[in-house]
Structure 1
Amino acid sequence: MGLGERWLEAAYRGDAWLIALRPLEALYRRVVARRAAAYAAGRQPVWRAPVPVIVVGNITLGGTGKSPLVAWLGRRLLDRGWRPGIVSRGYGGRAAAYPLWVDGSTPVTECGDEPRMLFEQTGLPLVVDADRPRGAGRLLEAGCDILISDDGLQHHALGRDLELVVVDGRRGFGNGRCLPAGPLREPLSRLAGVDAVVINGEPAFVPPGGAHGMTLVPSGWRHLASGERYPVAPLPFSGPVHAVAGIGNPRRFLATLEALGVEATLHPFADHHGYRGGELDFGDGRPVVMTAKDAIKCHGLAPADSWVLEVEACPDDGFAAWLEARLETFRSFREASRSGAGG
């Protein structure tokens, strides 16, 4: 575990030595507040798309289950007759030019692991661009009539109609402090201004009022090399396994495996870790299991007996009903706009 991962664990535990970083936290909070105020007051430009924009993000560092909710939301919108597109910053990737269209052949080194994963899970139009308004514009040119901004909560240059914040139920908000004295990207007061808070898993803390619940449900196994799919049970492999997790919260992956009856030795790596192959050679012939996010980067590097656990987000019925009501509002506005343009 690297220095960054050890610091993050300390921030979620609330280790006492982090008190020494509070002067830097105060500075960070001032910078965040001034930046948000500049956009709110019009001193920094905010681009408003002519279609609804839904931002899915978090206010903490580390994995929360945001990407599965983005995938669920994209599929839900498609099923409801919308033409959704996803815009992402593409963390960890570096392309020669932007905006970058992502498809099944786009190198992860160019687009980042999460955009490639989201494309493979949804098949939706997906553009990577740190300039989110520019990337959103490219999606509009492709005919998208509703946009999802993946991990875009702190990217104020792109105007939004809905803000959804995902929180890990087990880790919550850690010690409740902002960077670098804690894991928060923004103060907890930010939650009062978002449209919905979604708690991933049973909360080990008192959730904000009106928060919705979500669970990540294993949907099946995929053999990494062949792509063949198998049900969750019975297990398509035998014996203890090595669990590889280069995600924001590797222990959540281990807990999921244990709930499935898989005896696993966890090998945590930094979020967005770029595998080179040697890390996956454990020398004992045991099967290797990994997340979908890791699998994107491990083709041709992992042992032959390697498996991917696919999971899907399942928000509670209250969130689904709330979302349907908001989508109906968007749909009514869209139809009224079309009628006005036609008249």
Structure 2
Amino acid sequence: MFARIWFRSSLCYLFLLPFSWLYGLVSTLNRISYQYGWRKVYRFSVPIIIIGNLTIGGNGKTPMVLWLVEQLKHRGWKVGVVSRGYKGRSSNYPIIININSHSIECGDEPMLIWRRTGVLVAVSPKRADAVAALLRMQELDIIISDDGLQHYALFRDIEWVIINTSFRFGNGYWLPAGPMRERINRLHTVQAIIANGSAEGMQSGEILMQLYPSAAINILTGEHRPLNILNNVVAIAGIGYPTQFFDTLRNYGITPIKVISFSDHHIYSEKMLQSLTEKNEILLMTEKDAVKCLDFAHDNWWYVHIEVKINTKDTNKLLCSVEDKIKYYKYFNSNI
């Protein structure tokens, strides 16, 4: 419902403007309270990079986190990741994800990151607690925060904002009248603006990031197959903008028998998903959905493995800024 108000021509947002102004006031006061030292900002002995959004969900920040982790690992750096663990329900925080962890406790995106990259991932609503937990576990060179642009209690050395070029900022209003967590002028204070989507939707100074499906992977067996050889597919998605996932499938040669959308971070059951397919049909989902089905997956359940593509020039530009910060911290710490 809100998406129709935010991203399409609709006057319904006018009824929500008083709540939007209240949200903006609270958001602004929160940021100022940290800027002026009225509340404590936690700093650490390693650089922190925030990969976040100005709008609510669906921009592609988690694929960007995965890309950056793999790029830094390839260059020999020791990387950790922290997350709030949205929709995770645990009685104790912080959580260090391991083989016994479950997405119900830690959240689907942190579980996805840990399974894909194998790096240390810590979850806590207070991200500073998650950072401290990682540093107690292992000596690291850098820590990446999956989201948290508005979590000002955690000091950050680098901020990258991801923008979905299909929607950008919608009507530009604060929640709930619009999709904005902060105003657009916040872009002036970040180190990189990364546009996820098409070059036509970019603006000057932005870096193009494109997502492409490299394979379909069986949840139960781990078998890889080219996406375009799958037939009789029922596609589901519980993400910010499910239609983008379905459009991607069609663009890569899959015409689903039917598509089913769920709310972002939806919790699935075996009975629910089993009922969606008939004999000889494939249930195809996002990787974020798949990590919630590991305990009860069937042999006809597959997910799409998504990769990030950024051109060489922009890749070098992004990574040089990160590596310069890592080297600075190492030099500073060695001379204390």
Length-normalised TM-score, structure 2: 0.94
Counterparts of 1:333 and 1:218 in 2: how far apart (Å)?
36
Is 2:20 the partner of 1:19? no
Counterparts of 1:339 and 1:102 in 2: how far apart (Å)?
30
Is 2:15 the partner of 1:34? no
Is 2:170 the partner of 1:177? no
Deviates more, 1:72-81 or 1:319-328: 319-328
Counterparts of 2:32 and 2:78 in 1: how far apart (Å)?
33
One-letter identity of the residue aligned with 1:256: T
Tell me the equivalent position of 2:43: 48
Q: Which secondary structure state, in structure 1, belongs to the residue aligned with residue 291 of structure 2?
A: helix
Q: Contact conserved, 1:171 with 1:204, CA < 8 A, in 2? A: no
Displacement of 1:59 in angstroms is: 1.0
Displacement of 1:203 in angstroms is: 5.4
Is 2:266 the partner of 1:273? yes
Counterparts of 2:107 and 2:126 in 1: how far apart (Å)?
15
Tell me the equivalent position of 2:242: 250
After TM superposition, the structure 1 = structure 2 runs for residues 123-138 of structure 1, keeping only pairs within 5 Å, are: 123-138=118-133
Tell me the equivalent position of 1:97: 92
Q: Which secondary structure state, in structure 1, belongs to the residue aligned with residue 27 of structure 2?
A: helix
Aligned counterpart in structure 2 of residue 160 of structure 1, from 135, 156, 159:
156
1:139–1:107 Cα change, 3 Å: same
One-letter identity of the residue aligned with 2:150: Q
Spell out structure 1 runs of 4+ moving beyond 6 A: none
Tell me the equivalent position of 1:8: 3
After TM superposition, the structure 1 = structure 2 runs for residues 186-201 of structure 1, keeping only pairs within 5 Å, are: 186-201=182-197
Counterparts of 1:25 and 1:339 in 2: how far apart (Å)?
47
Q: Give a deviation string over 1:241-277, Cα, whole Å, max 9, x none.
A: 1111001110110111001110112201000000123
Aligned counterpart in structure 1 of residue 254 of structure 2, from 248, 251, 262:
262
Tell me the equivalent position of 1:3: none
Counterparts of 1:107 and 1:300 in 2: how far apart (Å)?
9
1:167–1:104 Cα change, 3 Å: farther
Displacement of 1:206 in angstroms is: 5.4
Q: Contact conserved, 1:56 with 1:70, CA < 8 A, in 2? A: yes
Q: Contact conserved, 2:96 with 2:121, CA < 8 A, in 1? A: yes
CA RMSD of aligned residues (A): 1.7
1:302–1:231 Cα change, 3 Å: same
Tell me the equivalent position of 2:134: 139
Aligned counterpart in structure 1 of residue 315 of structure 2, from 320, 340, 343:
320
Displacement of 1:336 in angstroms is: 2.4
Q: Contact conserved, 1:169 with 1:199, CA < 8 A, in 2? A: yes
Q: Contact conserved, 2:227 with 2:254, CA < 8 A, in 1? A: no
- Report how many residues are paired: 332
One-letter identity of the residue aligned with 1:92: K
One-letter identity of the residue aligned with 2:158: L
Displacement of 1:67 in angstroms is: 0.5
1:323–1:204 Cα change, 3 Å: closer
Q: Which secondary structure state, in structure 2, belongs to the residue aligned with residue 34 of structure 1?
A: helix
The unaligned stretches of length 5 or more in structure 1 are 1-5
One-letter identity of the residue aligned with 2:45: P
Q: Which secondary structure state, in structure 1, belongs to the residue aligned with residue 77 of structure 2?
A: coil
Deviates more, 1:113-122 or 1:320-329: 320-329
One-letter identity of the residue aligned with 2:99: G
Deviates more, 1:190-199 or 1:273-282: 273-282
Q: Contact conserved, 1:104 with 1:116, CA < 8 A, in 2? A: no
One-letter identity of the residue aligned with 2:308: A
Q: Contact conserved, 1:102 with 1:126, CA < 8 A, in 2? A: yes
Counterparts of 2:227 and 2:78 in 1: how far apart (Å)?
31
Counterparts of 2:296 and 2:20 in 1: how far apart (Å)?
40
Is 2:298 the partner of 1:306? no
**Identity over aligned residues, as a percent?**
36
Displacement of 1:12 in angstroms is: 1.7
1:177–1:338 Cα change, 3 Å: closer
Q: Give a deviation string over 1:108-159, Cα, whole Å, max 9, x none.
A: 1110111111101110000001111111011112211210011110100000
Q: Contact conserved, 2:104 with 2:292, CA < 8 A, in 1? A: no
Q: Contact conserved, 1:172 with 1:204, CA < 8 A, in 2? A: no
Displacement of 1:228 in angstroms is: 1.4
Q: Contact conserved, 2:45 with 2:329, CA < 8 A, in 1? A: no
Counterparts of 1:229 and 1:174 in 2: how far apart (Å)?
37
